[in-house]
Chain A
Amino acid sequence: MNTPVAPGRRARITAITSGKGGVGKTFLSANLATALARQGEKVLVLDADLGLANLDVVLNLFPKITLHDVFTGKHTLEEAILEAPGGFSVLLAGSGMVEYSRLTPEVREQLVDVVQKVVPRFDRILLDTGAGISDVVLYTVSLADEVLIVATPEPTSLTDAYATIKVLATTQGRRDIRVLVNQVSKPGEGRIIRGQLQQVVDRFVSPGLEVPVKLEFVGEVPIDPSVREAVKKRQLLLDCLPGSAAAQAVIAAATRLRA
């Protein structure tokens, strides 16, 4: 209800979240942004993992001016938006953001303010949120038009992804949630996982809701040594190993995200 609306250009805001940390959310955000930019979208990745941001590490960008300076009023938003290597823009949280890991009224106002200002200037905003279902994460997700959940086939990741879906469906009225499965060990595993999540949602979440929750499969990214290689080099996978299976899977996921 409080989501900003601007006339003319209006970015589609996609929150990328995961129940559990360490599932490759930030790595995927950066590479999805690259793929989307190559497909012609003007993309901004907003590092909304305020407490534990590491998009800077993934992108090997350590700017002097960050979101922190925008929040404190030291610099303008324009000064903090950088060009990332993948051909998209990025707004990094910066290390000073630890003090924003709690959701105070000021943090909320600041976040909404920033989102409102960037929305008319991009086609797509990826909100790289923190893991878990803390109030900062839930609030950030609530600013998005759509949600993409990243999960891996590990039982702990699946459980946390399911818990996140449940919370988003019941407290935010989300009915369409996208699922991207990372680190699959055989083709088709991602679809099975989506089906598995859907089955539990149908049985335990949707009854009682007027409109059932639909999980949309966006793709699966295989376990691929080239991912490790790119991360170690601090490069985008789509830049350094574009022909790898994982890179191709990310490109396919970006295409489905645009549909």
Chain B
Amino acid sequence: MNVFPEKLIEVNSKPHFLPPAAADALRLEQALSLLSQSGQQVPAGVEGSTPWLQSLIDALCDLSSRDGLTGLANRRNFENAIARESDRVARSGEPALLLMLDIDHFKRINDHHGHVAGDLVIKAVADALNATVRPMDLVARIGGEEFAIILPNCPPAFGSAVAERIRARVESQAIPLVGGQQLGCTISIGGAYAPQWVRSTPAVWMERADLQLYRAKSEGRNRTCLEPTPVSVVSAEEKGLLFASSIFGEDLS
């Protein structure tokens, strides 16, 4: 996944030349060793040339926007993306779904099988998420065992099917541990659509999806809960409390 495509094109379209002497003065050892440590390709081409420096910067940008363990977008990248997406939805009115996911009983996995196994589980879940979404969707690891997926242009009718597919995929996979043992895990998913055409913030959107994740957890985990649409329906319980006052008893019952 290319992380900042617009910016790269913009920079590439303008030719820049750095005087060779200036390039020599740059200290790039640390940047290069960071890249090779993280398994990224060290830029090819003439060392110190502008294209070489550009690919070095691109690689560093990519590195700083990814989660080290899973290779997914990291929290910083996710926050950028969700801000862009809520702006886009506010203007275009296209439906966009945000899913918040959490590995069930992750602490138990860590406690029983150790942190190495915990990391393997996180990686396996990350792979499963990547395998079940479209290339245009952004999958991010936003906390220890927490993930988020932004699905642009996802019609409301498809939302629960998509979430359910992701949940089922994670549930069905056996994760091989070191030493031949296999482990299964499940995830809970909460989701909410971006409010179309209204002033909102990424924080509100995330809060709504989080609320659904909380609901999925409290309803027993290993399930998906999307925000019911419309929220405008008033339940019998709500009405009961609304009219509980004596003023209605006197005048209207």
Which of A's residues lie within 8 Å of B, judged by CB? 1-3, 103, 105, 108, 133, 135, 138-139, 141-143, 153, 155, 158-159, 162-164, 166-167, 170-173, 185, 189, 192-193, 195-197, 199-200, 203-204, 208-210
In the bound complex, residues from chain B placing their C-beta under 8 Å from that of A133 are: 232
Which residues of B lie under 8 Å from residue A142 when comparing CB positions? 197-200
Is the beta-carbon distance between B242 and A159 smaller than 8 angstroms? yes
Check B204–A173 contact: CB distance below 8 A.
yes
Q: Which residues of B contact A138 (CB under 8 A)?
A: 197-198
Per-position 1/0 for B93-132, Cβ under 8 A of A: 1000000000000000000000000000000000000000
Does A158 contact B242, Cβ atoms closer than 8 Å?
yes
On whether A192 and B245 interact (CB within 8 A), knowing A167-B231, A167-B232, A208-B211, the answer reads: yes
Shortest distance between the CB of B211 and any CB in chain A (Å): 4
CB of B242 within 8 A of CB of A173, answer: no
User: Is B87 located at the chain interface by the 8 A CB criterion?
Assistant: yes
Determine if B198 and A189 form an interchain contact, defined as CB atoms under 8 angstroms apart: no
**Which of B201, B227, B235, B241 lies in contact with A1, CB distance below 8 A?**
B201
Chain A residues within an 8 Å CB radius of B196: 135
Q: Is the CB of A203 within 8 A of B241?
A: yes
Pick the contact of A209: B195, B200, B207, B235 (CB < 8 A). B207
Given contacts A163-B233, A204-B241, 16 further A-B contacts (CB under 8 A): A1-B87, A3-B199, A103-B93, A105-B93, A135-B197, A139-B198, A143-B199, A153-B247, A155-B248, A159-B239, A167-B230, A171-B198, A173-B207, A185-B251, A200-B238, A204-B238
| Interface contact B242-A162, CB-CB below 8 Å | yes
| Pairwise interchain contact A200-B242, C-beta atoms closer than 8 A | yes
Distance between B204 CB and nearest chain A CB, rounded to angstroms: 4
* Pairs A–B under 8 Å by Cβ, sample size 10: A2-B90, A133-B232, A135-B197, A141-B198, A142-B199, A163-B234, A170-B231, A196-B242, A200-B241, A209-B211
User: For the side of the interface on B, what is the size category?
Assistant: 35 or more
Closest beta carbon of chain B to A77's beta carbon, Å: 22
Is B244 an interface position by the 8 A CB rule? Answer: yes
DSSP majority for the A interface? helix
* In contact, B214 and A1 (Cβ under 8 angstroms): no
CB distance from B144 to the nearest CB of A (A): 20
**A197 / chain B contacts, CB cutoff of 8 Å:** 242
Say yes or no for B66: interface residue by CB 8 A criterion. Answer: no
A189 to chain B, nearest CB (A): 6
Contact assessment for A171 and B195 in the assembled complex, using a CB-CB cutoff below 8 Å: yes
Given contacts A105-B93, A210-B207, contact A172 B199 (CB under 8 A): yes
- Indicate if B208 sits at the interface (CB-CB under 8 A): yes
Chain B residues, CB < 8 A from A195: 245
Number of A-B contacts (CB under 8 A): 98
With a cutoff of 8 Å between Cβ atoms, the chain B residues found around residue A105 in the complex are: 91-93
Alpha-carbon distance between A196 and B252 when the two chains are bound, in angstroms:
16
- Chain A: which residue is nearest B252 at the CB level? A155
Say yes or no: B238 contacts A162, CB within 8 Å. yes
Q: Could you tell me the distance between the alpha carbons of A24 and B200 in the complex, rounded to whole angstroms?
A: 29
In the complex, chain B residues whose CB is within 8 Å of the CB of A2 = 87, 90, 199
Point out the residues of chain B lying under 8 angstroms from A108, CB to CB: 197
B29 to chain A, nearest CB (A): 42
A200 to B245, CA, bound (A): 12
Q: Is the CB of B195 within 8 A of A172?
A: yes
State which residues 204-222 of B face A: CB under 8 Å. Answer: 204, 207-208, 211, 214
B204: chain A residues within 8 A (beta carbon): 171-173
Q: B199 near A1 (CB under 8 angstroms)?
A: yes
CB nearest to A103 among chain B residues: B197
A203 CA to B240 CA in the complex, in Å? 12
B208 touches A170 (CB 8 A): yes
Q: Which residues of B contact A189 (CB under 8 A)?
A: 247
- Picked from B91, B198, B247, the residue with its CB within 8 Å of the CB of A192 is B247
Q: Check B61 for interface membership: any CB of A closer than 8 A.
A: no
Q: Report chain A residues within 8 Å CB of B200.
A: 1, 142, 171-173
Nearest-neighbour CB distance to chain B for A62, whole angstroms, equals 31
For B195, the chain A residues whose CB sits under 8 A away are 171-172
**Which residue in B231, B234, B247 is a CB contact (below 8 Å) of A171?**
B231
Contacts of B92 in A (CB 8 A): 105
Complex Cα–Cα for A163 and B234 (A): 6
How far apart are the CA atoms of A54 and B34 in the complex, in Å?
67
A173 touches B203 (CB 8 A): yes
Measured between alpha carbons, how far is A232 from B208 in the docked complex, in Å? 46
Selected from B198, B230, B231, B244, the residue in CB contact (under 8 A) with A196 is B244
Q: How far is the CA of A106 from the CA of B247 in the complex (A)?
A: 46
Cβ–Cβ < 8 Å partners of B93 in chain A: 103, 105
Q: How far is the CA of A69 from the CA of B195 in the complex (A)?
A: 30
A162 CB, nearest partner CB in chain B, Å: 6
